[in-house]
Amino acid sequence: PRYSGTADGIDFYLLRNSSAGLMDYGVVEEGGVRDVSMVVAIAPGDELYMAVGARVDDITDGTLVGLTFRVVYPDTPPVADTNGPYTVYPGDPLILDASDSTDVNDDIVSYEWDLNDDGVFETDASGNAFFSVPYASLTALGLSVGHMDDIRLLVTDSVGFQDTDSGTLRIVPEPTTLALLLGAGAALLTRRKRRG
């Protein structure tokens, strides 16, 4: 805010936050103009109330002009995070988790995934950070058991700014009954050796 005085001896610029008390104060002489700047820790969407008053010839003018400002950050691109690596068993759905993606303005509107690394973001999760992909969709994309595939996430905010991140996906074979028995037997043998 700016105040230009024409009377003698004007003290002005009582800037006050409704909860933090006096923040800044300035003096201008006759006909002068003074700008006051502040650095205030305030979150996007919060309001800052400032009261501007004038004191003329050492007599305080009882009139206060209240100004309320809403802080809005400049639009900045979001930051994508695939939150991988991912593993899935044959037949099970793949649960994608992009919840670690961030945006200063908190306005990510879409999450799109490229699950077979062909440059096409074929899996549109819309505005959902968590998204379930049926196993049939994975096989339809050519993904196979035991193969490590690169995946990519594209996030877009309400302004149209975008960011991408990459990760990996692997369809792992389910352990066979024999493998489970061998694993259990090895664990039992290890415990017996420790006791002995």
pLDDT in tens, 18-31: 444 434 444 444 44
Domain carrying residue 110 = 86-171
Is 6 within a domain? yes
Same domain, 63 and 14: yes
Same domain, 43 and 92: no
Same domain, 44 and 108: no
- Assign 76 a pLDDT band (cuts: 50, 70, 90): confident
Tokens of 89: 């068993």
* Residues 6 or more apart whose Cβ sits within 8 Å of residue 148: 168, 169, 170
- Is the backbone of residue 99 left (phi > 0), alpha (psi -120 to 50) or beta? alpha
Same domain, 40 and 105: no
Same domain, 53 and 92: no
Picking from 25, 45, 70, the residue at the C-terminal end of a domain is 70
Same domain, 104 and 167: yes
The upper half-sphere exposure of residue 179, i.e. CA atoms within 13 Å in the direction of its Cβ, equals: 4
Asked whether residue 6 carries a pLDDT value surpassing 60, the answer given is: no
pTM: 0.57
- The count of structural domains within the chain is 2
| Residue 117 three-state SS | coil
Same domain, 66 and 98: no
Is 94 within a domain? yes
Cα separation, 6 vs 12, in Å, equals 12
Section 60-89 average pLDDT: 70
Asked whether residue 110 carries a pLDDT value surpassing 60, the answer given is: yes
State the alpha helices, DSSP H only, in 79-169: 135-140
E strand or H helix at 180: helix 177-195
Picking from 20, 42, 70, the residue at the C-terminal end of a domain is 70
